[in-house]
Structure 1
Amino acid sequence: MGQRHQVFLVARVVPSAGGEARYRCVAAYHHQWCYGRLPLVAARRFLTLLKQKDNAKLVSEEVRALQGKYGPGTSKPRLPDVPCPYTTFLMASSWCVDLGKPIYGSGVSFKNSVMEAHMGSTEGDNNDGITVFDITDPANPSYCFVSTFGLEAGDEVEARVPLSAEEYCRAYYPVPTDNELKKEGAKEMEQDVQAKIDALRDERLMTLNVLAEAWPKEYEYSAPTNPAEDTESSNLASNPIPSLVELSLKPAVEQAVQTGETEGLEDLVWHPGKADLIKPILRDQKPFPDSGLPLLTKVIQQQSDKSPLDLSGFSLTDSQLISLFSFPGVEKVEVLDLSHNPNITTDVLRQLLPVTSKLRHLILLNTSITDEKLYELLIQEPKLFLSVEQLTHPAFLSWQDPARYPNGFAYVGFHGGQSACSASLPVFTPATVVQSLTDFLGPIADLDDYESYGFFGTSLVPQAAFASAVRSADQPWSARHVHCFPALTDTPFDGRGWLFAATWASMYEHSASHYGFVSLEPQTVPPKVRKICDLGAFLEEMAAEGRPPAAEAAVKNLEKIFADLGSKKGATLFTEADFPPFMEKFVAYSRRRY
């Protein structure tokens, strides 16, 4: 039963044996009810998220990490079943969740819908076609729809060739005749169909040869009429020709660093544009010499008011980083990128975080800091991260079920008779929590029973809400930065971090709805409640812990949402008597990843 549809992501990947990069599938996902206009809307959501610059950076990191590591097909070394977990989550949440307007929630859990990237494009349980995206260059992707075995309830279209948004959608909604447009609602329907098609009008359509390269047994290669136009076979970036200034600056910087005589260049840093030219030259010094620290210090001091402060690619040691971060104004740094550094340890975080009190986003991609070492630091010294709302590290971008990292803040919800969800964040600030709960709880008060069923039926809705970085007032949900993949935890009651616990009545179970911000005593069996707070008391607790406050307007908006939940849904604050039965019931259901 259903309108079954699969989504695939492909990218050009160099095999482990070397040679040219070739297209292969890097993600596959199943949706049980997606046809007609729905794939178009979902594709638009995904492409918008894919092109968002911070998301694109993480997608590119995942694709880059595959290069030269795996054999073709299923040969060894074998590509993981889910080789790009962050990008797959980005796609899955796009396909199943929209917390903008109108709101949308469908599907089940990530675990029960994700498929192996090794599968063929026609091997899924399918009756409404597939969608394929080329994510090799997230800033310039392509897409297509494909009819694999025909489209249920749709007109016949050619099988196993790329279909545009219009070709796919018109199979379900042919252009109406003048007489048909006279029927009630027909004109409005046609306008909506056209709007969905137009939303993808400017996106690149994938060529058949991409499909043939990714799945050679399922699609036939078609020789291009003009080989020069077959641009998708190559994604080589052109290297700009360096200017005379850059050519002369490089040997001067290298000589100054080698001799330690950098004073003249230190004055040059403050000239417009010169710091940006000197920085990549210093980045190429591997290992980085101590003699270059005075010059690099001037460069980052000149750039410290920029966001982010980018030190990615520098081979700096812990002691060198500590030396760098002694300049006046270091406390104003809000975003710090230390990625692609093979020399740092968690010891540097112990010393840097206390002096960067305004740091909100710390980026640690492809460093020598392992998942286990970062988990250990979060457990032993959680107060180091009180101001950090985004901690970008592979440990929090991978698919974990259940979570292996310690909980900082988790949404723990029991959704009527349908499902239990426990989306966990390793770090958070009050702004994180206020926005995530606003996004998730905002629509609930006005949902009817039917809408609630779809909204509460998937754990991807709270996961998507808590994965969003804090947005500016003019940044819509659709253009959000997805900064992590919030794992579902099976141990939310171990006393680590805070919980927002909620139980919501459903169309099948009209029990009471309760909620509350909950802190539990650590390592108590059975779990013992320390505090149950409403929003105001929770924010007071956060201030007492030393966390930065959320914006007043955002807090007032969430206060109104809680008031609406009370008046429209009868939701009340948990009591200490209510909570133990909730925990017991949650534990019984939590492993059901429907």
Structure 2
Amino acid sequence: MGQRHQAFIIARIKPYGSSAAKYRCIAAYDNGWCYGSLPLRAAHRVLCSVRQPQNAEVIREELRSIDGKYGRYDAGPEMPAAACPFIVALLADNWDIGLAPGNILLTGSSLKGSMLEVDMHLWDSDIDNDDGYTVIDVTNPEDPAYCFIGSARRDPEDARRYIRRYYWFPGDAIPDVTSADGSYVVEALPTEPEAPDERDLALRRYENGYLPLINHFQDVRLLDASAIREAWFPEEEKEDGNVGNDGEGESDEDGGPGDELKSEGGEGDKSEEGAEQYQTHSAIVTSVPSLVDISLRKSLVRAIDSGETGALEDMPWLSERMGIVEEILDALSPFPDAALPFLQRLAKAKKYRGTSLDLAGYPLTVSQIISIATTLPEIHSLNLSMNSTLDVADVREVLARLPSLARLVLMNCPSLEADELVQLVGDHPELFRHMQSIVHPAFINISNSSVWAGMPVRMVVVAFRSLSRYAGISFPLVTPGVLIQGLLDLLTFKEDLTAGASLYMHGKRALEVAFASLPRASGTPWTERTLARPFLFPKAPSHRHTSDCWMLYVSTASFPPDLKDDMGYAFLQLQQTVLSDGEERAVTWRDFLLHDLRSFMRTTEQQGYPSVPEDLAGALEGAIEKNKLPVYTREQILESTGGR
């Protein structure tokens, strides 16, 4: 029953025991109500999120983390369904939820319940499929590729060909899908409406809806049949032994993402080179270096080795050859102080964009990190992934020395222990007041709840869909801006009549996705948000919280009608009671101070949290007024929870 559609993320990575990169599925998701234009809209949302620079850097790191680690299908080791939790969440959240103005979509009920095994076959008979498949290639996140595949055929289709099976398009000569021998029609396409009013309606829908949607895919590469065969090889190829873990066949010379994606940042010719490499499966032809380039390489190496870099540091033409500088710096391990001036110039030229600094791949000491960061304007996001020497003491110093930091990426850092990082978050809350997100395996795990046991809970969102049912999510670290952006997005769902009614049925999923991203600058589309979803942990309100914990308590249910009187919101400042013998009683959510939006903002700022941008606060105030959402009283909160 339903309109089932499956979506897959693929990438070229090296299988276990092989030096040759091969396409394989790394994330798979099922949606029970996805047909017509909906797969195109969902795929467009996924592609936008994949290309977003801060999302792309995490995707690259997850690809590195699985490169060479798992076998292909029947060959072990087997890849878990959530081996790439960030990528899985990106796919799932964008597939279930859409928040574009005038086109709000709310579906799905459970991320975990809809995840599929990544080793399943594309045409697995055990999985119901009514409306085809979507495949997206994220090998190079800055240049992803896509295709659709209909249920009745296995050839990749572009966006226009897929959606054409549902709607009539004027002047379209795409033929029906016929059997292999042409003897019968497997899939008949819609024909031109006979009634003039129906034809006019179809034309308007095409011009105003379907054509602009198709145009979103004009500049996106289309996957060909060879990529699909490589990712999901037919059974007869496995039997013949032509495909497997033996590393045979055409491949990139450098192998998988661990070699080719080192700290690209999506900038310059290097990214384009990689995209072409994956697309053509051919070797890269490099130009012969000039005598000037050869001389510069030798001079840079000699200067760094001797420590006498002054003569080269200030050469103005050096900025024209940052590619050579980057190649030399990439090869340094350990990283000498003498090379810092060149890394500082490289950072200003290529590694620092907006307020984001990408130092991934460099084995820098903490003093070197601070030295580079403090020469730049304000830094909000810092990527220190692939740093082999970074440990928890270094992270502590980075946080203390860079108070403007809001996001820290710590993927593939072998010296950084997960339990030590979790303990740091719990023991030193003052270091994390300004942090919106730490991207590390300890915080992005969505399949093993045991890693959450030691997590502190500093802010909680509880959304009631009725008097007896609620959905809850918790944050080990967060800023007030994240909560305010999430509540604004949640209220945006309610403003749409269809999505508002769906909140009663899909409230838990809406809650997860609404609070899944970092605050957006005014005017930034929802599809270009920075994702942070996997650091959210579901918690019941009775769980223990930290002494400075806050709770956002909200009900936006608008269906059925008899729940309208229960709508409201409140920020609860949980209190820790000191008993007569001096012992501190555990924090519970029955002991709280009640705050409205402005009171919450003032109090958290006094606690050391960053202030909330006024345009974001004003937007939420407008949404609260528009939705007529009152502030709950203490009595209403205690009564609705039975005094728990």
Q: TM-score range by the shorter chain?
A: 0.7 to 0.9
Could you say if the C-alpha distance between residues 218 and 429 of structure 1 is closer, same or farther in structure 2, counting changes exceeding 3 Å?
A: same
Cα distance between partner residues in 2 of 1:543 and 1:362: 21
Letter in structure 1 aligned against 2:553: A
Q: Paired residue for 2:139?
A: 136
Cα distance between partner residues in 2 of 1:531 and 1:552: 24
Q: Paired residue for 1:312?
A: 360
Give the conservation status (yes or no) of the 8 Å contact 1:529–1:576. Answer: no
Shift in Å at residue 103 of structure 1? 1.6
Give the conservation status (yes or no) of the 8 Å contact 2:493–2:499. Answer: no
- Matched residue SS, 1:489: coil
User: Given the alignment, which residue of 613, 637, 640 partners 1:551?
Assistant: 613
User: Given the alignment, which residue of 216, 219, 240 partners 2:233?
Assistant: 216
User: Given the alignment, which residue of 365, 373, 380 partners 1:334?
Assistant: 380
Shift in Å at residue 283 of structure 1? 4.2
Q: Paired residue for 1:343?
A: 389
User: Given the alignment, which residue of 149, 154, 163 partners 1:160?
Assistant: 154
Shift in Å at residue 276 of structure 1? 7.6
Could you say if the C-alpha distance between residues 471 and 136 of structure 1 is closer, same or farther in structure 2, counting changes exceeding 3 Å?
A: same
Shift in Å at residue 57 of structure 1? 2.2
Cα distance between partner residues in 1 of 2:348 and 2:136: 41
Structure 2 unaligned residues grouped into runs of 5+:
170-190, 239-249, 251-275, 577-584
Give the conservation status (yes or no) of the 8 Å contact 2:556–2:567. Answer: yes
Cα distance between partner residues in 1 of 2:111 and 2:595: 31
- Matched residue SS, 1:58: helix
Cα distance between partner residues in 2 of 1:457 and 1:78: 32
Shift in Å at residue 455 of structure 1? 7.1
Q: Paired residue for 2:489?
A: 439
Q: Paired residue for 2:27?
A: 27
Q: Paired residue for 2:269?
A: none
Shift in Å at residue 572 of structure 1? 2.6
Give the conservation status (yes or no) of the 8 Å contact 2:544–2:588. Answer: no
Q: CA RMSD in A?
A: 3.5
Give the conservation status (yes or no) of the 8 Å contact 1:96–1:107. Answer: yes
Shift in Å at residue 345 of structure 1? 1.3
Cα distance between partner residues in 1 of 2:510 and 2:28: 19
Give the conservation status (yes or no) of the 8 Å contact 1:418–1:456. Answer: no
Shift in Å at residue 582 of structure 1? 4.6
Give the conservation status (yes or no) of the 8 Å contact 1:425–1:466. Answer: no
- Matched residue SS, 2:399: helix
Cα distance between partner residues in 2 of 1:480 and 1:579: 32
Q: Paired residue for 1:122?
A: 123
Cα distance between partner residues in 1 of 2:411 and 2:460: 24
1:391 aligns with 2:438: yes
Cα distance between partner residues in 2 of 1:139 and 1:380: 38
Give the conservation status (yes or no) of the 8 Å contact 2:436–2:477. Answer: yes
Q: TM-score, normalised to structure 1's length?
A: 0.84
Could you say if the C-alpha distance between residues 39 and 5 of structure 1 is closer, same or farther in structure 2, counting changes exceeding 3 Å?
A: same
Shift in Å at residue 247 of structure 1? 3.2
Q: Paired residue for 1:534?
A: 596
- Matched residue SS, 1:111: helix
* 1:88-108 deviation line (CA, Å, top 9, x unaligned): 211111111112212211111
| Structure 2 counterparts to residues 83-122 of structure 1, below 5 A | 83-101=83-101, 102-122=103-123
* 1:302-360 deviation line (CA, Å, top 9, x unaligned): 988964333322212345546x3695x57833332222111111212322322222222
Give the conservation status (yes or no) of the 8 Å contact 1:500–1:518. Answer: yes
Give the conservation status (yes or no) of the 8 Å contact 1:180–1:186. Answer: no
Shift in Å at residue 59 of structure 1? 1.7
1:412 aligns with 2:462: yes
User: Given the alignment, which residue of 402, 406, 420 partners 1:373?
Assistant: 420
* 1:376-426 deviation line (CA, Å, top 9, x unaligned): 111011111222223222333332465714334332212237963323333
> Percent of aligned positions with the same letter in both sequences?
30
User: Given the alignment, which residue of 156, 165, 170 partners 2:164?
Assistant: 170
Cα distance between partner residues in 2 of 1:188 and 1:354: 57
Could you say if the C-alpha distance between residues 269 and 301 of structure 1 is closer, same or farther in structure 2, counting changes exceeding 3 Å?
A: farther
Stretch of structure 1 that moved more, 365-374 or 504-513 = 504-513
Q: How many residues align?
A: 566
1:10 aligns with 2:59: no
Stretch of structure 1 that moved more, 138-147 or 237-246 = 237-246
Cα distance between partner residues in 2 of 1:420 and 1:560: 25
Cα distance between partner residues in 1 of 2:86 and 2:514: 15
Stretch of structure 1 that moved more, 415-424 or 112-121 = 415-424
Could you say if the C-alpha distance between residues 425 and 162 of structure 1 is closer, same or farther in structure 2, counting changes exceeding 3 Å?
A: same
Shift in Å at residue 31 of structure 1? 0.4
Letter in structure 2 aligned against 1:397: I
Give the conservation status (yes or no) of the 8 Å contact 1:4–1:125. Answer: yes
1:481 aligns with 2:534: no
Could you say if the C-alpha distance between residues 336 and 165 of structure 1 is closer, same or farther in structure 2, counting changes exceeding 3 Å?
A: closer
Shift in Å at residue 581 of structure 1? 4.9
Shift in Å at residue 216 of structure 1? 2.0
* 1:229-264 deviation line (CA, Å, top 9, x unaligned): 997462766667656554333333333333333343
Give the conservation status (yes or no) of the 8 Å contact 2:574–2:587. Answer: no
Shift in Å at residue 73 of structure 1? 0.8
Give the conservation status (yes or no) of the 8 Å contact 1:421–1:488. Answer: no
Stretch of structure 1 that moved more, 279-288 or 162-171 = 279-288
Structure 1 unaligned residues grouped into runs of 5+:
151-158, 222-226, 588-594
1:196 aligns with 2:213: yes
Give the conservation status (yes or no) of the 8 Å contact 1:398–1:485. Answer: yes
Q: Paired residue for 1:185?
A: 201
Shift in Å at residue 295 of structure 1? 6.6
* 1:433-478 deviation line (CA, Å, top 9, x unaligned): 332322222342x344774225750533233232323323232112
Cα distance between partner residues in 2 of 1:450 and 1:67: 40
Q: Paired residue for 1:519?
A: 573
Letter in structure 1 aligned against 2:206: E
Cα distance between partner residues in 1 of 2:291 and 2:640: 69
Give the conservation status (yes or no) of the 8 Å contact 1:160–1:219. Answer: no
Give the conservation status (yes or no) of the 8 Å contact 1:423–1:486. Answer: no
Cα distance between partner residues in 2 of 1:401 and 1:581: 34
Stretch of structure 1 that moved more, 359-368 or 176-185 = 176-185
Cα distance between partner residues in 2 of 1:348 and 1:181: 71
Cα distance between partner residues in 1 of 2:322 and 2:228: 45
Cα distance between partner residues in 1 of 2:523 and 2:13: 37
Shift in Å at residue 143 of structure 1? 2.0
